Amino acid sequence: MPGDPAPPQPLTALALGSAATVVEIKLPPANRPRLMEMGLLVGTPVELVRFAPMGDPVEIKVRGYNLTLRKSEAEQIFVRPKA
C-alpha cells in the first residue's frame, strides 16, 4: 500500500550513503551495552558510510561521528530506510 513504511532490513543491506533509522537490535544482551554507550539505540538515525575492502568492518555515521562495527554485528541491527 502507498505510504506504508519500508520493511526493516539489516544495516548491511543499505546502499552506501543511505540514511535509515534503527528499529531493532538483535544482538545478544551481553553485546548491547557497548553499542548503547556509543549512542546506537532504537530510533537513532544512521547513515552507511562504507565497507572495508574485504567487507568487514562496516562504518556508519551515528550522532555526528563515525562508528565502525563488525559486519556480524551490523547484520543484527535492523533499520528502516528513510524515504
The CATH superfamily label for domain 9-81 reads Ferrous iron transport protein A (FeoA) (2.30.30.90)
Could you tell me whether strands 19-25 and 58-62 are parallel, antiparallel, or unpaired per DSSP bridges?
Answer: unpaired
pLDDT at 2: 57
Give residues with Cβ within 8 angstroms of 44, minimum separation 6: 21, 22, 62, 63
pLDDT at 37: 87
pLDDT at 1 over 70: no
Boundaries of every domain in the chain: 9-81
Note the pLDDT tens digit of each residue in 20-53.
Answer: 999 999 988 888 888 888 889 999 999 999 998 8
Note the pLDDT tens digit of each residue in 68-81.
Answer: 999 999 999 999 99
Alpha helix segments (H runs only) across 1-83: 32-37, 71-74
